[in-house]
Amino acid sequence: MKKFLLGCCYYPSHWEDADMPGDLARIKDLGFNCVRMGEFDWSMFEKEEGKYDFSLLSAAVDRAAELGIDVILGTPTAAPPKWLVDKYPEVLCVNAAGTQMQHGSRQHHNHTSEVYLRYCAAITEAMAKHFCGCRNVIGWQIDNELNCHRTDSYAEADDVAFRKWLREKYGTVETLNRAWGNRFWSLEFNDFSQVTCPRPKPTHSNPAWFTDYYLFMSDTVVNYAAVQADIIRRYMPDAFITHNGIFGNIDYRALTDRCLDFLSYDSYPSFDEKNGKALGRRVAYKFAAMRDFSKDFLVLEQQSGPGGQLSYLLPTPRPGQIRLWTYQSIANGADGVLYFRYRTALYGAEQLWYGIYDHDGEENYRSREIRKISAELARVGDIFLREGLKCEVAIWNDYHNTCVNQVESFAKTDIREIFAELNRRNIPTDLISDAERLSDYRVVILPHVAVADEALAEAVRCFTEGGGIAIFSARSGIRDKYVQYRPAKAPGVFRELAGCRVDWFTAVTEYEDQRIRFAGKEYPVDTYYEMLTPEDGACIGTYTDGFCKDRAAMVKCGNVYYIGAYLHKAPQLYGELVAQYVTRREPIDPDVEELHLGAYVMYLNHSDRAVTLAGYDILEEKDFTEIPPYGVVLLDGEKQ
């Protein structure tokens, strides 16, 4: 980005045509330099098949240009028009129970329909041709929030595409049968034509079948986005292409690499805030994922009001929270922020999804707060394009293992709890899925990496021999790429690195109080734990209860730790281990986040009370003695 983007989502089609010039003038008056438009207007753009009308959107783009406002256009393919689904009902998605979704909402299409892909290509090409001469159209958003409302589909087109995908992956049905282990329960296929997407069954299904299905679902999304991206690049090679995530059953690394210049994110901290005060800081986890998928990114939807739909309403941002969340996005790497939305819709399914302005369109505390943000970023926005968050710690989080965890859900990963604990300790953390990035960090945590190969084990060995610290945990290294269990002692491919073997394991029962004793403290385990036998490693933590009492729960071998348990309730153990190896300062308050951005330090007060701290705030250009409720301060770290 040559400049920091600040703006909002604006839908001129939701208002009277005559309102558009005044609306854009008010958007400019808010201090904005960018708007996002167009992503749901297919029925306006193409009222009848092949007859395109972009007049209102085109007038809005031209008016924005006159005001010096850049535009990000969205392809409207998340909401097909009625004439299309009536003419081709096969484009509609089908749920696992066999019910076909109907017109009347959004995302009711499937991503594998050749008919739908053809119409998506046509509307995208018509838009790209029409707007290719508009210099203020700086970027495109592909579709909108892919897989937001449904993460799977079982239409006939999906079965056809799944069979093709499997044939390309396995070559022969015999290879497929071996990879899936289909001799078990007489599941063998005689031909690819017999295979379907996995549907409800009387009991548990083959995990390999479901894992491949989830991998396939992601590839269908990537292919769907690529159809549009390739057309836009042909007509507008200088405009960036992005998409707004993050949702399920998508390998966003693959999506970004194949289709996008960078990924973008939609940030709504109130989804966490409704569960407790100061929980909005949990959004940091999604930002860590964004930094893995995309070095540069935008927030294309930043919460600016109470979000809600027919069945729920999120809490309204307290005074200061919009500013807090904006700087949370920026400090975590966003190169631009667009608020959702300019004004709250008077009709439709999102009448309760409030924007900067309420239904009345009048000034309010939210618009005044955003004007303050605009003024600050006009002065210091370039800082955030130059300076970024540098993390010493990363957590391994690859898509293949995400699929396996979704299938074999009895032991849900504790990645989020580990991340939140490190965040609480002011230890900024990345999520990574690329072994080549291991050397960027001092510590890498690899929690429950069940699917792993010798290449990953070798990468970790090189990392730790070079001085890096690796932390493995239970159920790691035990499965191959086909999710078959390896005929070897756990931790499988990591056994030599971990310096131990697993000789006994169990699910945690309701009646036991199993804990790990480490460095004079005890940490409760949950879900599952393993009794370890040290080989080249040394026991550094033991169990406190039952059959495993005083037996090894943690082993250290060189620079490698192995923790034989799930620790959703006690991620503090990871915090204690990591804290030995990183540079950090104790939090000034449990609800205050401290983020180091090059030479600068940002403090984010997520609480509803003032916190004592003194210094000179670059954002407000004044001295301060406390951070107010939901306050933000930016300091020059070299002067502290």
User: From CA 312, how far away is CA 293, in angstroms rounded?
Assistant: 31
C-alpha span between 247 and 11 (Å, rounded): 23
Q: For residue 162, what are its two tokens? A: 């799944």
pLDDT tens figures, 151-172: 999 999 999 999 999 999 999 9
Distances (CA, A) of 624 to 58, 418, 602: 47, 33, 14
What backbone phi and psi angles, to 5 degrees, belong to 622? -160, 160
Using alpha carbons only, what angle is made at residue 39 by residues 37 and 42, rounded to the nearest 5 degrees? 120
Residues 440 and 379 in one domain: no
Q: Please write the tens of the pLDDT for every residue from 301-336.
A: 999 999 999 999 999 999 999 999 999 999 999 999
The length of the chain, given as a count of residues: 640
Report the Cα 206 to chain-centroid distance in Å.
Answer: 28
The token pair that represents 57 in the structure block: 């959107």
326 occurs within a structural domain: yes
pLDDT of residue 125: 98
3-class DSSP state of 424: helix
Q: Which residues contact 555 (CB under 8 A, 6 or more apart)?
A: 498, 499, 500, 532, 534, 537, 538, 539, 540, 561, 562, 564
Question: DSSP secondary structure string, 495-553?
Answer: HHHHTEEEEEEEEPPTT---EEEETTEEEE-EEEEEEEEESSSEEEEEE-SGGGBTSEE
Q: What DSSP character marks residue 106?
A: S
Q: Which residue has the tokens 């499965």?
A: 479
| 155 assigned to some structural domain | no
| Residue 458 within any structural domain of the chain | yes
Q: Are both 49 and 64 inside the same structural domain?
A: yes
C-alpha 93/C-alpha 149 separation (Å) is 12
Asked whether residue 369 falls in the same domain as residue 254, the answer is yes
Domain finish residue from 554, 579, 604 = 579
- Evaluate whether 144 touches 189 at the Cβ level (below 8 Å): no
| Residues 441 and 478 placed together within one structural domain of the fold | yes
> pLDDT tens, 255-309?
999 999 999 999 999 999 999 999 999 999 999 999 999 989 999 999 999 999 9
Element (H, E) at 217: helix 207-235
Q: What gap in Å lies between CA 633 and CA 254, rounded to an integer?
A: 37
Question: Residue 306: inside a domain, yes or no?
Answer: yes
What ranges in 426-465 are assigned the alpha helix state H?
A: 454-465
Looking at the fold, whether 331 and 453 belong to one and the same domain comes out as: no
pLDDT tier for residue 637 given thresholds of 50, 70 and 90: confident
Residue whose token pair is 């930002």: 287
Q: How confident is the model at residue 640 (pLDDT cuts 50, 70, 90)?
A: low
Percent over 70 (pLDDT), the chain: 100
Q: What are the residues facing 538 on neighbouring strands?
A: 556
Q: Number of folded domains in the chain?
A: 3
CB–CB of 255/222 below 8 Å?
yes
CB contact at 8 A, 424 and 594: no
Give a yes or no: residue 281 inside a domain. Answer: yes
Same-domain check for residues 434 and 492: yes
Domain termination residue (choose one: 355, 386, 417): 386
How far apart CA 564 and CA 325 sit, in angstroms, is: 37
Q: How far is CA 18 from the centre of its chain?
A: 38
The DSSP 8-state label assigned to residue 589 in this structure reads S
In a shared domain, residues 370 and 407: no
Q: What are phi and psi of 38, to 5 degrees?
A: 95, -5
CA 530, CA 192: separation in Å to the nearest integer? 40
Q: What is the CATH number of the domain that holds 567?
A: 3.40.50.880
> Is 320 within the bounds of a domain?
yes
Query: Around Cβ 53, how many Cβ atoms within 10 Å?
Result: 14
Cα 612 to its chain centre, rounded Å, is 33
Separation between Cα atoms, residue 412 and residue 28, nearest integer Å: 47
Q: Is residue 222 part of a domain?
A: no
Q: Domain of 281: which CATH number? A: 3.20.20.80
CA distance 448 to 69: 47
Q: Decide if 125 contacts 231 (C-beta within 8 A).
A: yes
pLDDT digits (tens, 9 = 90+) for 363-374: 999 999 999 999
Residues 284 and 351 in one domain: yes
The verdict on residue 152 lying in a domain is: no
Query: Is the pLDDT assigned to residue 638 strictly greater than 80?
Result: no
Task: State the pLDDT at residue 639.
Answer: 67
- pLDDT of 582 strictly over 90: yes
Q: How confident is the model at residue 584 (pLDDT cuts 50, 70, 90)?
A: confident
Rg (CA), the chain: 26
User: Which amino acid, 136?
Assistant: N
The mean per-residue pLDDT over the stretch 201-208 comes to 92
pLDDT tens digit string along 16-35?
999 999 999 999 999 999 99
Strand (E) or helix (H) holding 380:
helix 365-386
Residue type, 358: D
Structure tokens at 512: 């036991």
Does position 2 have pLDDT exceeding 90, yes or no? no
- Its domain, for residue 613, covers 592-639
Last residue of a domain, one of 386, 410, 439: 386
Q: Are 35 and 9 in contact (CB under 8 A)?
A: yes
User: Alpha carbon of 522 to those of 535, 565, 569: distances in Å?
Assistant: 24, 13, 12
**Sign, CA torsion 15/18/22/24:** positive
The verdict on 36 and 125 lying in the same domain is yes
Residue 99 CB burial class (10 angstroms; 0-12, 13-18, ≥19) = exposed
pLDDT at 349 over 80: yes
Q: Which residues contact 66 (CB under 8 A, 6 or more apart)?
A: none
Q: Say yes or no: 437 and 501 in one domain.
A: yes
CB 4 within 8 A of CB 336: yes
What separation, in Å, do the N-terminal and C-terminal C-alpha atoms of the chain show? 30
| pLDDT greater than 70 at residue 185 | yes
Does 546 lie in the same domain as 607?
no
What integer pLDDT is reported at residue 66 of this predicted model? 98
Q: Are 539 and 508 in contact (CB under 8 A)?
A: no
DSSP string, 245-304: E--SS--HHHHHHHH-SS-EEEE-THHHHTTSTTGGGGGHHHHHHHHHH-SSEEEEEEE-
Q: Which residue in 317, 278, 247, 314 sits closest to 107, CA to CA? A: 247
Stated as kind and residue range, the H or E segment containing 83 is helix 82-87
Residue 1: per-residue pLDDT: 73
> Are both 451 and 375 inside the same structural domain?
no
